[in-house]
């Protein structure tokens, strides 16, 4: 039997995202009809508490969870500001930060990810995943809310980017379209079911650029600081700091120092 509470949940997730982003950037997402930011915040808070009551499988203090999430909104904005700056500085076609926020799919996907990640941290996996899937549908950029991503993150163009749940990404990292940061293989239990909760996706250091179509796989794969990964490279091995990878194959890797 369908739980009727879930029927409009996807629409509510989209509305909640718009409310939260309106609180963060009223000049970009500001909700028409609201006379004050306090009225907007009150409605967003009430909506969040109601949604939490739908998705929690056990009794919980929904207001306490909502309080923690709302307390983090200023910090979320601060890190999103760095992402906007990274896009403006990293793309010569960007004429202003307002253009980045209004027209770039990366801003749409990353700003939603930053919100969703906080929900993930606070133990709300369903809503966090619905948020990033909403962004995925709208942008073609698929970032799991469990990924850990540092400030000044930029995805140029973006279509087809996939970032897995246990990926970690450092500061000042730039990805191009079609990059996959994924799992190399899936461990299985004796009964054939997949093992969950283990490290499956790569770690990317600081000041790394990964060009279009590159695929980097595996929970033990680490890309060091100040590396450049060329287009269409396939990597399942770690790369030391400061290397440029022009081509990589399972048995034959070609590295050139910058």
Q: How many domains does the chain have?
A: 2
pLDDT in tens, 32-62: 667 688 888 999 999 999 999 888 866 778 8
The average confidence (pLDDT) of the chain is 90
Domain boundary among 141, 160, 175: 141
Task: State the CATH number of the domain containing residue 80.
Answer: 1.10.3130.10
The pLDDT assigned to 187 comes to 77
DSSP string computed for 192-249: SPBP-SS--S-EE-SS-EE-TT-EEE-TT-EEPTT-EE-TT-EE-S-B-TTEEEEEE-
Domain boundary among 99, 122, 141: 141
The pLDDT assigned to 254 comes to 46
Shared domain check, 126 and 159: no
* Mean pLDDT to the nearest integer, 89-98: 96
* Domain limits for position 52: 1-141
The pLDDT assigned to 251 comes to 42
The pLDDT assigned to 197 comes to 82
Distances (CA, A) of 186 to 68, 142, 164, 220, 221: 34, 19, 13, 13, 15
* Mean pLDDT to the nearest integer, 5-11: 82
Domain boundary among 94, 110, 141: 141
Check pLDDT > 60 for residue 153. Answer: yes
* Mean pLDDT to the nearest integer, 220-224: 97
> What is the percent of the chain where pLDDT is above 90?
76
Shared domain check, 245 and 124: no
Stretch among 49-53, 76-80, 85-89, 217-221 having the lowest mean pLDDT: 49-53
The pLDDT assigned to 8 comes to 87
Shared domain check, 231 and 176: yes
Shared domain check, 156 and 137: no
The pLDDT assigned to 80 comes to 98
Predicted TM-score (pTM) of the model is 0.91
The pLDDT assigned to 130 comes to 97
CA distance 135 to 244: 31
* Of 216, 106, 198, 196, the residue nearest 152 (C-alpha): 106
* Mean pLDDT to the nearest integer, 149-153: 98
The pLDDT assigned to 35 comes to 66
pLDDT in tens, 158-197: 999 999 999 999 999 999 999 999 999 777 788 878 888 8
Check pLDDT > 90 for residue 7. Answer: no
The pLDDT assigned to 248 comes to 60
Check pLDDT > 60 for residue 252. Answer: no
């Amino acid at each position: 039997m369908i739980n009727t509470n879930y029927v409009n949940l996807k629409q509510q997730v989209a509305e909640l995202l718009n409310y939260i982003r309106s609180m963060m950037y009223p000049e970009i997402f500001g909700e028409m009809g609201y006379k004050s930011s306090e009225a907007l915040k009150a409605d967003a808070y009430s909506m969040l508490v109601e949604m939490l009551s739908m998705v929690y499988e056990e009794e919980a203090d929904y207001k306490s969870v909502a309080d923690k999430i709302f307390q983090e909104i200023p910090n979320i904005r601060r890190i999103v500001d760095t992402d906007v700056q990274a896009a403006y500085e990293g793309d010569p076609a960007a004429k202003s930060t307002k253009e980045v926020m209004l027209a770039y799919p990366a801003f749409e996907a990353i700003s939603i990810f930053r919100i969703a990640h906080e929900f993930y941290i606070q133990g709300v996996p369903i809503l966090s995943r619905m948020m990033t899937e909403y962004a995925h549908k709208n942008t073609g950029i698929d970032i799991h809310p469990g990924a850990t991503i540092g400030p000044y993150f930029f995805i140029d163009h973006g279509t087809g980017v996939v970032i897995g749940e246990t990926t970690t990404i450092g500061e000042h990292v730039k990805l191009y379209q079609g990059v996959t940061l994924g799992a190399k293989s899936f461990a299985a239990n004796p009964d054939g079911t997949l093992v969950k909760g283990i490290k499956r996706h790569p770690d990317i250091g600081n000041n790394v650029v990964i060009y279009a179509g590159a695929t980097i796989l595996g929970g033990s794969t680490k890309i060091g600081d100040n590396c450049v990964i060329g287009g269409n490279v396939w990597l399942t091995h770690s790369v030391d700091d400061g290397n440029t990878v022009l081509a990589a194959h399972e048995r034959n890797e070609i590295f050139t120092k910058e």
